[in-house]
């Protein structure tokens, strides 16, 4: 599954009445996390549409296959969670010449990655 990062203010949903939310239970060190993680999906067909976490209210992560508008071709991609303990052994990561690859999460935050490339959202 390919998740994108998006400015939450830009989300437009047609058929909102069919969207349901699953609130994941997240624990940190055996205690409930302070933020809430939600998975939004179509209650008619079960398709995962986007994820949202209250820790970053300005951000959401649409599933690429749920986006029906044209998006620009990115100059590079970041592949993460590519380690053998995070993906099925048969999954091959297709990398372009400018792509970055991380076995877990990169040290640089998503906001910092965008900022370092002059891609801040106003």
- Residues 108, 52 share a domain: no
Residue 120's pLDDT band (cuts 50, 70, 90): low
Instruction: Say if 96 falls within a structural domain.
Output: yes
- Residues 14, 49 share a domain: yes
Instruction: Say if 121 falls within a structural domain.
Output: no
Alpha-carbon 101 to chain mean position: 16
- Residues 95, 78 share a domain: yes
36-48 tens-digit pLDDT: 889 999 999 999 9
| pLDDT for residue 42 | 95
Instruction: Say if 122 falls within a structural domain.
Output: no
DSSP designation for 22: E
- Tokens 């991609």, residue located: 77
> What's the structural domain count of the chain?
2
Say whether pLDDT at 49 is over 60. yes
- Residues 78, 65 share a domain: no
The CA distance from 39 to 17, in Å, is 15
Token pair recorded at residue 25: 């239970």
pTM: 0.69
Sheet arrangement for strand 48-53? 6-7, 59-62, 48-53, 37-42, 19-24
**Structural domain range at position 101:** 72-114
The CA distance from 87 to 104, in Å, is 10
Instruction: Say if 48 falls within a structural domain.
Output: yes
- Residues 60, 77 share a domain: no
Contact 105, 80 (CB under 8 A): yes
Question: What rounded mean pLDDT belongs to the chain?
Answer: 85
């Amino acid at each position: 599954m390919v998740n994108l990062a998006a400015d939450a203010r830009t989300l437009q949903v047609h058929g909102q009445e069919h969207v349901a939310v699953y609130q994941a239970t997240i624990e940190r060190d055996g205690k409930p996390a302070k933020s809430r993680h939600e998975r939004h999906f179509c209650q008619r067909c079960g398709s995962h549409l986007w994820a949202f976490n209250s820790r970053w209210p300005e951000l959401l992560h649409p599933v690429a296959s749920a986006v029906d508008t044209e998006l620009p071709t990115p100059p590079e991609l970041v592949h993460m969670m590519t380690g053998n303990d995070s993906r099925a052994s048969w999954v091959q990561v297709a990398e372009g010449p400018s792509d970055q690859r991380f076995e877990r999460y990169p040290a640089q935050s998503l906001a910092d990655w965008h900022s370092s490339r002059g891609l801040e959202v106003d």
